[in-house]
Every structure is written in structure tokens, then in C-alpha cells.
Amino acid sequence: MSYLCGIKIQKMHSLVENQQIALQFPNEISLYLKREDLIHPFVSGNKFRKLKYNLLKAKEEKKTKLITFGGAFSNHIAAVAYAGKENNFETIGIIRGEELESQIYENPTLQFAQECGMKFQFVTREEYKNKTTDLFFKKLKIRYGDFYLIPEGGSNSLAIKGCEEILTEEDSQFSHICCSIGTGSTISGIINSTHLHQKIIGFPSLKGDFLSEDIRKFAVKSNWELQSDYHFGGYGKINEVLVRFINDFFEQTKIPLDPIYTSKMMFGIVDLIKKGYFPEGSKILAIHTGGLQGIKGMNRYLKKKNLQQIIAQ
């Protein structure tokens, strides 16, 4: 057992504990999944990594209040709420979408965060776009006083430092490292800790080409590329093809995939293997970045649409 600011890590999986996916691939290609989702039940995967040094910094600065940002089913909001409760921080979430204020008890993510003690400020989508401006920050200072600010998704230089610890020296045997992408900080940390003989492939869950520039700001190596054809319509978008893939994957491996990030990456990897993208003998390591708490909210959406739901257990 190890601890981070009072957060117990239940399992820190090393290479020998990675689960090989039970799918057969040609050309002696092997695919492993690093179970970062098992680090902690509520602060799992890259959220744990991103918060690690931010929490330590907040304690060092003697802050007692954390403010951060997120949407309706944000993994980051849920993680900060729990981490704050466990480490005696007051937490405040600036939530995108005023209409959500009346829907807290219909939203498993916001309900969980509130049960952890997080207070919310709901803002319009237009206001939310300005969250990084000096004016927005000044308004937060006037309203909440002294606080430690954690960016949306937890993405800053301290988050990247934490994500640099995802890979270990044992992972140097892999020829390819694959990672899903939201803000770009997780893959930046992974890139920084890889060896030059390894190729890093990112699978964005958002539409648009802006992520490459964001990654270049922090990544110190150039052994990476993005595969941008597997976002399924953009952030938070999902269809029946992806749901079937998630459920088939779970039936074959007993490993749950979240619908926003890791599932799209895994779909992309399998598709690229089928298309002959990976050279013969490639040894691929995919990073499971967690986010499983979002399945409940997605299933509520799918149920309303009379669509097949995601199997998670």
C-alpha cells in the first residue's frame, strides 16, 4: 500500500500485472492494457496522476480551498471532489451549463461530487468559454477568496509531471504506446518518459487539430503522432457501433471501458491492426486512463434513446 496526501492506492499495477487482451491478431502482434483504472476506486487513472503534485502544491501553499472546472459527467470533477474530501480541502466546481443546476439528482457524477462536499457554481456555456481569462479569475477571487486553482481536466505542468510516472522502465520493451487524449497533458507526460525507439500514438476524443499544438508545448520528444479518425463525432459522442465494441470487449476480457476515452482508443487500435498499420511483431501497450464513473450517466442517456446500454460488470 502507498499513500498520496491521504489517498490510498489500492493497486499500482506493474508490467507483470498488465492484462493481455484476449483477441487474436495476425503477424505476431501483441496488445497489452495497463490498468491505470485500478489505482483507486474514485480517483483513478490519469486523474490520480494529474492531481498528485497539484494536491501536494496546494498543501505546500497552505491552501484550504480547491476550485476547478468541468461538464455534466466530468471524471475530473468527481475525482477532485473525492480527493478534496479525503485531504480536508473545500472544493468548488465551476460547471458548464446553467440548466444542470436543477438536474443534480438526475446526474450521477454531480450527485457523487456533492455527496463528497463539493459546492457548485453553474455558468452558461458562453461564460465557461472565458474561464481562463483574467476577468473570470478576478470574479472567482472576489466571490471565493483565497484558493488553489486546478485547470479543467487538471491539466498543467504539475499534471504532466504526474503523468510522466505512468510508464516504468519495464515498459521500455513495448514498441508502441497508445493513449486516449482529452486535453493532451496525459500523453505529453507519457511522451516525456518514453524511449526514442518507441512510437507514441494518441487517440483524441475531440474533433479538431488544435491538440497537436497543445502537446508540443509540453512534450520534449517528437516520437508521437495522433490518430484523429476515432472520436465518433466528438467529445461525449457515442453510437451503437462503439457500444457494441465496449460490450464485446468486456465479454471477451472482463475489462470495462469508459465510453468517452479508452473505448475509442481501443476501437482505434483494433481497427489499425486490422488495416495493417502496425509492423509485424509489434508489441503494443495501451493505457487505460479510468473514467468508468461516467458509464452510469451515459447509460441513462442511452436508455432515454432506447439504445443498447454499456455492460460494466
DSSP secondary structure of 227-294: --S-STTSTT---HHHHHHHHHHHHHH-----TTTHHHHHHHHHHHHHTT-SPTT-EEEEEE---TTH
Cα distances (Å, whole numbers) of residue 98 to 76, 103, 127:
19, 10, 10
pLDDT of residue 23: 56
Spell out the per-residue pLDDT of the chain, length 313, in tens.
233 444 433 333 333 344 444 455 778 898 999 999 999 989 989 999 999 999 999 999 999 999 999 999 999 999 999 999 999 999 999 999 999 999 999 999 999 999 999 999 999 999 999 999 999 999 999 999 999 999 998 889 999 999 999 999 999 999 999 999 999 999 999 999 999 999 999 999 988 778 898 899 999 999 999 999 999 998 889 999 999 999 999 998 889 999 999 999 999 999 999 999 999 999 999 999 999 999 999 999 899 999 999 998 6
DSSP 126-139: HHHHTTTSHHHHHH
Residue 173's nearest CA partner among 11, 12, 10, 15 is: 15
Query: Which DSSP symbol is given to 116?
Result: T
Separation CA 216–CA 227 (nearest Å) = 16
Q: Which of 107, 116, 95 is nearest to 42 (CA)?
A: 116
The pLDDT assigned to 141 comes to 97
Q: Is 63 helix (H, G, I), strand (E, B) or coil?
A: coil
DSSP helix/strand/coil, 156 = coil
Distance CA 140, CA 147 (A): 9
Whether the CB-CB separation of 84 and 66 falls below 8 Å is answered with yes
- DSSP letter at 104 equals G
pLDDT of res. 28: 87
Task: Tell me the backbone φ, ψ of residue 157, rounded to 5 degrees.
Answer: -65, -35
Q: CA gyration radius for the chain?
A: 19
